Amino acid sequence: MSIQYEPVNTQSAALQIAEQIQQSITDGTLKANDKLPTEEELARQFNVSRPTIREALKRLAAKSLIRSRRGPTGGTFVNRPSQEDMVGTMTTAVGLMIGMGEFDLSDIAETRHELELVCARLASERRNDDELNRMKAEITIQKDESLSDEDFCASDVRYHRALVDATHNPVLKFQMFTVIEALQPVENLVIYRFRQREKIVRHHEKILSAITAQDQEKAKDAINEQMAYLRERFAQAQDWRSQKDNET
């Protein structure tokens, strides 16, 4: 496939080249498994050096947009990123923003609360036995008093992933996996010393019971109850952290 690219300025050339190729992928000009021109051909088209092209391709590979293959039939090909790849990229980005202080706990709690209400409603309509059994299995794990804090948090994440899976909405699942994989562990890390496990388990049991009965209102009430409890723990954690900061 022959594609004509526009010349670029020497400043940030690799970034501009990567953006042009990415645009060709997103607008469908380049499709999954299409082979890109060689580095030499791209360098000639863009009128830049091969190291600049190499840097542009690295940027695209970091986004899982292209892949390389060696051998006689090798080259650089347009990738078809899996949902796991894209979620991983988003989770990493969200994690960095949390680390830089772009999101605070109240924003995280509000986002999770609103999205989980939608999940509870849809899951009540669409859940199947597999998802209900997965949620039930995690509750059983969480009742083990010998479970470490780390393993309890991991089970908490798996429980909510099963809840999201029960919506059978791929777009919502994609959005929620970012919340679950990036934001929920941060919540757990902050409040684990202030929460009571038995209360979390009780909330999980109420949510599961309502979804099993396909009772949307009770499911929403259970989500509201859990998030109210978690918000109280966030406030408690923030007060504790402020006191620690003042002491130092």
Average pLDDT over residues 217-244: 84
Look at residue 128 in the predicted model and tell me its pLDDT: 97
CATH topology of domain 13-78: Arc Repressor Mutant, subunit A (1.10.10)
Q: Burial level of 193, CB count in 10 A (0-12/13-18/19+)?
A: exposed
Dist. CA 242–CA 245, nearest whole Å: 5
pTM over 0.85: no
Sign of CA dihedral 190, 194, 197, 203: negative
Residue 60 CA to its chain's centroid (Å): 19
Compute the mean pLDDT over every residue in the chain, rounded to the nearest whole number.
85
- 68 DSSP β-pair partners: 76
Residue 146 CA to its chain's centroid (Å): 29
73 or 93, which is more confident?
A: 73
Decide if pLDDT at 17 tops 90.
yes
Average pLDDT over residues 201-229: 96
Range among 6-10, 37-41, 126-130, 181-185 with highest mean pLDDT value: 126-130
- Please report which helix (H) or strand (E) contains residue 184, including its range: helix 184-191
Range among 10-19, 70-79, 98-107, 172-181 with highest mean pLDDT value: 70-79
CATH topology of domain 84-237: Four Helix Bundle (Hemerythrin (Met), subunit A) (1.20.120)
Decide if pLDDT at 11 tops 60.
no
Alpha-carbon distances, residue 90 vs 30, 212, 217 (angstroms) = 23, 31, 32
Dist. CA 178–CA 184, nearest whole Å: 9
Decide if pLDDT at 88 tops 90.
no
Dist. CA 165–CA 65, nearest whole Å: 26
Residues 183-207: tens digit of each pLDDT: 666 666 666 677 788 999 999 999 9
Dist. CA 36–CA 20, nearest whole Å: 13
Strands 75-78 and 66-69: antiparallel
191 or 36, which is more confident?
A: 36
Decide if pLDDT at 39 tops 70.
yes
Question: What residues does each domain of the chain span?
Answer: 13-78, 84-237
Task: Quote the percentage of the chain above a pLDDT of 70.
Answer: 79
Range among 28-32, 47-51, 244-248 with highest mean pLDDT value: 47-51
Dist. CA 139–CA 99, nearest whole Å: 30
Residues listed for the chain: 248
80 or 122, which is more confident?
A: 122
Residues 119-175: tens digit of each pLDDT: 999 999 999 999 999 999 999 999 999 999 889 988 998 999 999 999 999 989 888
Of 66-70, 91-95, 131-135, 166-170, which range is least confident? Answer: 91-95
Alpha-carbon distances, residue 45 vs 24, 50, 53, 127, 178 (angstroms) = 15, 11, 10, 53, 38
